[in-house]
Amino acid sequence: MVERTVVCGGLQAPRGSPTDTLKLDVNASAGSPHKVNLHLGDLSRPMADNIPDVLTDMLEIAAYVYCADQFTKRGTELMTNMGADWRRKFRFRIPVRCPDVWGKDSVREALVETLGFLSEDEFSFDFRQATTSTGLQPYLGFSDPSAQAISPDEVILFSGGLDSLAGAVDELFGNNMKVALVSHQSSTTVASKQNGLVNTLRERLNGRQLFYVPVTINKGHEEAVTFTQRSRSLLFATLGLIVARMFRKNKLSFFENGIVSFNFPISEHILGARASRTTHPRVLANCSRLFSQLLSDNINLQNPYLWKTKSEVVQVLADRGCADLISQTLSCTRVREATKIRHHCGTCSHGSAF
């Protein structure tokens, strides 16, 4: 099992740390190899004022874990030694604004349980008192003028894939809801797809009902060493929670068909987290429990499409007059392999629908 020490936020590495200790810092200078880029677009400063420090901590923790996930190798796809190198052991040292909260056994256990089920890695955390009390402000982009003109009925995590598009279309056109869409833009290709779909939806809505929050999180300009990104769901959910709380909501939605959410193994060696657990019911329940403990409130992450098949999701788009948008979606996780002719690899249930 690969072991990795990850030191974050400018803290000193523990004495005797390995030479390959990974250093990550959201406050590092732009040219630093340790820099973690974290940018929330289209949010105004007043919207961030009611976000508690513990959620800013959660955002930074999720970003550090996400980057460490991408920059720590797993075993090869050949799965030698029964896949022994698939699992990794992470030891994080992270500064936080609310050490009393993060020091609670129940919070720490909820965090480790959530990440462990998502990734099948082992995690331990050493939280230290942060020297800064700055909240979300450094991460905010320009203010979207429509932000104060909408009070959304629902906050939806929008990946730009077919299922998340169907969910947004269902709520916007089918149920006439006001919606806030939250996107994690992991690459320019993904960002282009997401932005294009949102622009098209806005045109069809005449600019009403829709508020969009694109978020960029990555590590400097380096190429990741692994692309499984099993921890991404916690980051995505945290982003959605922050936007939901800005609008004083306690609920947010992932839209994913049940076949993908449960992600049944398609071959004998695709076991455990080898099959992504991005929207697995247990993941959503674990995140709900973690967030509820952090905020001492009842937070609910839901998947309204859990009992739908992919064909039923496609039918939603057809019924709402948006079938023409299907070709603009990007559901494939292998973004780096996409071409202008073929956007999906076609080797899983995501891409095989196209």
From first to last of its 354 residues, the chain has per-residue pLDDT tens of 789 999 999 999 988 888 889 999 998 988 898 999 888 765 666 667 778 999 999 999 999 999 999 888 886 555 555 456 778 899 999 999 999 999 999 999 999 999 999 988 999 999 999 987 777 766 665 455 555 567 899 999 999 999 999 999 999 999 999 999 999 887 788 889 999 999 999 999 976 789 888 888 877 666 665 656 778 899 999 999 999 998 899 999 999 999 888 877 665 555 554 557 788 999 999 999 999 999 999 999 999 999 999 999 999 999 999 999 999 998 755 444 555 555 545 555 544 333
- Residue 33: C-alpha distances to residues 17, 38, 125, 245 (Å): 19, 15, 23, 33
Q: Domains (ranges, CATH) in the chain?
A: 2-131 (no CATH), 150-353 (3.40.50.620)
Question: What is the model's pLDDT at position 287?
Answer: 96
Question: What is the model's pLDDT at position 226?
Answer: 64
Backbone angles phi, psi at 72, to 5 degrees: -130, 120
DSSP H/E element including 70? helix 53-70
Question: What is the model's pLDDT at position 354?
Answer: 32
Name residue 175's amino acid. Answer: N
Alpha-carbon 235 to chain mean position: 4
Alpha-carbon 156 to chain mean position: 12
Which residues are bridge partners to 4 per DSSP? Answer: 90
Sign, CA torsion 216/218/223/225: negative
Check if the beta carbon of residue 146 is closer than 8 Å to that of residue 294.
no
Tell me the C-alpha distance between 28 and 9, whole Å: 8
Tell me the C-alpha distance between 44 and 238, whole Å: 18
